[in-house]
Amino acid sequence: MFHLSPSILAADTANLAAAVRAVESGGADSLHIDIMDGHYVANYAFSPKTVTDLRRVTPLPLHVHLEVSNPDAVLPLFAAADMIIVQEDTAPDLVATLAVIRRLGCTAGVAVNRNRPVEALLPVLPLVDLLLVMAVEPGFGGQPFDARVLDKVRWLQQQRTLLNAAFAIGVDGGITPTTIVSALAAGADFFAVGSAAFAGDIVNAVRQLREVKARLC
Ligand code: DX5
Ligand code: ZN
């Protein structure tokens, strides 16, 4: 399994449809749409309308990453997405939140920040499709990759085997053709990639990220 999800936070939003077509041509598996509320993070990004608009221009699965203070209050607005990812520190009853996401007909992901213990998520591992490890502070693209989060990735890989579970192990933030190598080695198989996907020649940038995996096999 290898899943590449370009994060449109880094795209030229004045030419979003063209950027999306380019990542499609490069071999993207889905689109990562960060939703930011100016409160959980000191930035704003995208809205439910972005999701419904993108539906019309791409067959790619749409993954919504909620970087907002109160995701429970807005989940139904994102029912058009294929996957909804919540930050674990924003959902007081994570099990209930995941159940709502499923009732909306979406697959469910949970993201964990760098300074938070991933071990606390053990009870929800059988309930998620994706466990997304943040390798940067949420809020902005283009930050450097924090290699210390690879310990979380290794732990998740061990638990996945022990539990015989099927969730994807993702990394979001600072992924480049260089850092993706160590993330793959640690056991990650899902990557949200902003700046390194939408830089320069987008088709080639996405292809290059895929080729890293192909070369390692
Ligand atoms: C950060 C977002 C990421 C961001 C990654 O809060 O969740 O998805 O777009 O961007 P890069 O790949 O540039 O670190
Ligand atoms: Zn994200």
What percent of the chain clears pLDDT 90, i.e. is strictly above it?
97
As given in the structure block, the two tokens for residue 66 are 């909620």
The pLDDT value recorded for residue 167 is 98
Edge-first strand order for the sheet with 31-37 is 3-6, 190-193, 168-172, 130-134, 107-112, 83-87, 62-67, 31-37, 44-45
How would residue 58 be classed by pLDDT, with cut points 50, 70 and 90? very high
CATH 3.40.50.740 correct for 3-216: no
Nearest CA to ligand 1 atom 4: 141
The count of other CB atoms within 10 Å of the CB of residue 64 is: 29
Taking alpha carbons only, the member of 170, 117, 120, 115 closest to residue 146 is 115
The pLDDT tens digits of the residues spanning 62-83 come to 999 999 999 999 999 999 999 9
Rg (alpha carbons) of the chain, rounded to whole number: 16
Cα 130 from chain centre: 8
* Residue 109 near ligand 1, beta carbon < 6 Å: no
With beta carbons less than 8 A apart as the criterion, state whether 136 and 146 touch.
yes
The count of other CB atoms within 10 Å of the CB of residue 215 is: 8
Nearest CA to ligand 1 atom 6: 138
pLDDT at 217 over 90: no
Expressed in angstroms and rounded, the spacing between residue 9 Cα and the centre of ligand 1 is 7
pTM over 0.95: yes
The pLDDT tens digits of the residues spanning 137-188 come to 999 999 999 999 999 999 999 999 999 999 999 999 999 999 999 999 999 9
Expressed in angstroms and rounded, the spacing between residue 34 Cα and the centre of ligand 2 is 5
Write down the domain spans for the chain. Answer: 3-216
What percent of the chain clears pLDDT 70, i.e. is strictly above it?
100
Expressed in angstroms and rounded, the spacing between residue 191 Cα and the centre of ligand 1 is 10
189 is catalytic: no
